[in-house]
Amino acid sequence: MEIERPLEGKKILVTGGTGSLGKTLVRRLLTGEIGVPERITVFSRDEAKQHFMRLEYLHRTAATDEVIYQNSQNVLQFRIGDVRDPAAVAGALADTDVVFHAAALKQVPSCEYFPYEAVLTNINGAANIVRAIKELRLPVETVVGISTDKACKPINVMGMTKALQERVLLEANRDLAHCRIMCVRYGNVIASRGSIVPLFVEQVRNRQPLTVTLPEMTRFLLSLDRAVDTVFAAIRTGRPGETYVPKVAAAKIVDVAKALMGGEELPIIFTGIRPGEKIHEIMVSEEECYRTVERGDYYAILPVLPEIRGEAEFTPALETEYSSKDQNISGDELKELLRSAGGEIERFLTAAG
């Protein structure tokens, strides 16, 4: 069943709200497209990022087509804290209806070199949210955990910790009958901080060789807004314990590099696979296929625990894993997808022709 305006009048907490996804999510929440919230609180540990984000919204007016409020600063609030800190998490969750949990350590090499730091943020952070709701009997109605394709059949620390984050959140549905807890998984966000596309743009601008790990490397690609669409789809139609996965395009990284060159003929250097990197990403594993259903432009992976999944009959939507190695796009289709990221990437491609 679809909920028409699930965020109408809700008090919302966005952990990691100053990150790439968090900022886009907040912008979309402020439009009121799935309900006008009473309050949106950005919770993160970086005071500088919060300061600049606050200034950005102080300069917006009701005349913009993105922010509908007379005074968005009265709706949008900021709170310093770390998801690793149980007391900070509990304080942030008080008087909250909906939680979007986007705080994470997400850089694959960083997590490989500092694995326990990834455990503290990605696993313990989720556990702190669940623990606070349960032990303090907080009336939180919905939690959406932001996960990654790397959590599916993980081979790196980031993926392993995100896989456990998913399980910590989804399993909590057993004890929190009043709270609907779901996750979303998606692939490489085109314009996110630290991703490959901004690096390629910088290399092309400087007429440097483009660095690619392996010729056969592939990735799922989507814009930040498509990632937020997935979060909103889960809020509208998701059920407790489900994981939403968008149906998105995938491409060879070599083709992404060529698409960003425009008319340039720059060399491509293959640097070799980095610690913890996969050649292809998977968003639904062959083990998850049998409990994956179709929901329009998304797949919903049903809970692994039968007591959360229930006994309702369903028809599996997939017969094999959903992998980036299949049905890769290239050429004009790939350029159009890259343009969909908007902002600097779109301007760069337009200028390059």
Residues that are catalytic: 150
First to last CA, the chain: 44
Going by C-alpha positions, the residue among 159, 177, 150 that lies closest to residue 241 is 177
What is the sign, positive or negative, of the torsion defined by CA atoms of 15, 21, 23, 28? negative
Going by C-alpha positions, the residue among 63, 73, 71, 76 that lies closest to residue 37 is 76
**Mapping DSSP to helix (H, G, I), strand (E, B) and coil, where does residue 9 land?**
coil
Q: Which residue is listed with tokens 């005071």? A: 47
DSSP symbol at 33: B
Per-residue DSSP letters for 40-85? EEEEES-HHHHHHHHHHHHT--TTSSS---TTHHHHEEEEE--TT-
Going by C-alpha positions, the residue among 182, 155, 152, 148 that lies closest to residue 285 is 152
Instruction: List strands edge to edge, sheet with 250-252.
Output: 188-189, 218-222, 250-252
Residue 3 CB-density burial (10 A; 0-12 exposed, 13-18 middle, 19+ buried) = middle
User: Which helix (H) or strand (E) segment is 243 a member of?
Assistant: strand 243-246
CA 247/CA 11 separation, integer angstroms: 30
CA 22/CA 322 separation, integer angstroms: 26
What dihedral angle (degrees, nearest 10) is formed by the CA atoms of 281, 19, 163, 285? -30
